[in-house]
Chain A
């Protein structure tokens, strides 16, 4: 289990334990963390699991995938550190990861 902190737009932190191997999106959806809609369930077709990655984690999580790059166009307020949570697979070394959510999905 690794600890992941999801911070909503209003600043509320949700700390959940996520099993490595799943995705950052599933970690939120399975634990009923509000603010990550993930309408398509990780098919990378809806862009509603948009999160911001803090600078110190960006390099470790890597760049957007090609399909993610296309889909993230659907999200609002996309920034340089935007990612789709369904495209990030949780690994053991992600313990302590903190992500921020946009105002709307």
Chain B
């Protein structure tokens, strides 16, 4: 009997096509909007999460600031107040698991007759651990390379692509600001950072080599930045405080004077970015679900009209033996069918819309099976919920009055 009723519901939907289509449209737009918004929201969350994962976990960075003197102040990191010795002192602090002092600058890189301008980072072997960065090929430099200042380099994927093409870079000699370096490793690709920079456009060399060969500084042993990795997220504020007091002490900064460095909690910044996108995607989803509700009300409205129009039909059905339950089921099935078919069309539109946006603007999208299931079950629920009242109204009609209805 259920099969026959499904057939009848399908038949009834086809009886007034324009009306069915318009009723369905509310559902189509609602589901389409929810799926699209969830895809965009989750895409944003996903890309932020990926950036955070590539940043390295529990990161603090210590940057030097120019001393607080009158007159023009140079950009952050230009007056090197931090030293390798500072970094060596920070690693002794409680809760610090790794430290990587770095200096960096852009430099012209040449291989055979190709050249490329990239950011060169001089640092210690711990840098790769702190940034959670692994090698795609080759091997990394060691502490002994730091001690002897060897001319070796790890290069990022973008640099490989621009200088080497299909040739394997391992063992090849490149020139950084005209000094020859041997490529010993290729870094795993990380993609964009949170601020949109290409993290793969980089070259990593031993800190001492960079200091001596590349960026000959007048301040021996100075670094621009020290990356500090804490043991856990919870103790990051504590570690930040101890770095502050340690460095004030080491830099002989008197009570009341400004720091000549500052500490940034990168993980906290990243988490707040993640929180922002999460809130945004929730908001998008919430706005979109309002249209689902509107679609549901549309279904209820049309079903009520339909019950009134078909009063006589209901009377006939009752006279020949339909129970209240049969009539209820029939109208409920029609409402559910409209919402489910509308939902399927909406899903198609939502997903293709999301894919189109992805193609046109490169916006990250994520179409998860959860969001599809969610939209589908919400649509079915809306159909049942908004279809129930008209269906019950139909089922409770008095057969005699219904038969007399013109």
To the question of whether A and B form a pair in one complex, the answer is no
B residues lining the A interface (CB < 8 Å): none
Q: Which A residues fall within an 8 A CB radius of B? A: none
